[in-house]
Amino acid sequence: MALRGVSLKAKGKSSKGSNGSEDRSLSESVKEWSTWAMRKAKIITHYGFITLVIIIDMNSEPKPQLSQLLSPI
């Protein structure tokens, strides 16, 4: 999987001790990627759980009607 927008080069003026800025940009990239992945996982889990509950309820005995599954009461 290729990461887009990931730059391992130090920004600004380069000096002999620029390894710290390379590590920082890599850590920022990992942090941004993990935040993006967690947001997507949260959305997928939310809608997947709702769908799973409806499917399980429709396959249970006695078989409810769809309107009974979707109504709050």
Q: What is the domain partition of the chain in residue ranges?
A: 26-58
- pLDDT tens-digit series, residues 2-49: 555 555 555 555 555 555 666 678 889 999 999 999 999 999 999 999
Q: What is the pLDDT of residue 61?
A: 79
pLDDT of residue 35: 95
pLDDT of residue 50: 86
**What are the DSSP calls for the chain, one per residue?**
-PPTT---SPPSS--TTTHHHHHHHHHHHHHHHHHHHHHHHHHHHHHHHHHHHHHHHHTSSS---HHHHHS--
Q: What distance in Å separates the CA atoms of residue 15 and residue 45, rounded to the nearest whole number?
A: 46
What is the per-residue pLDDT for 60?
79
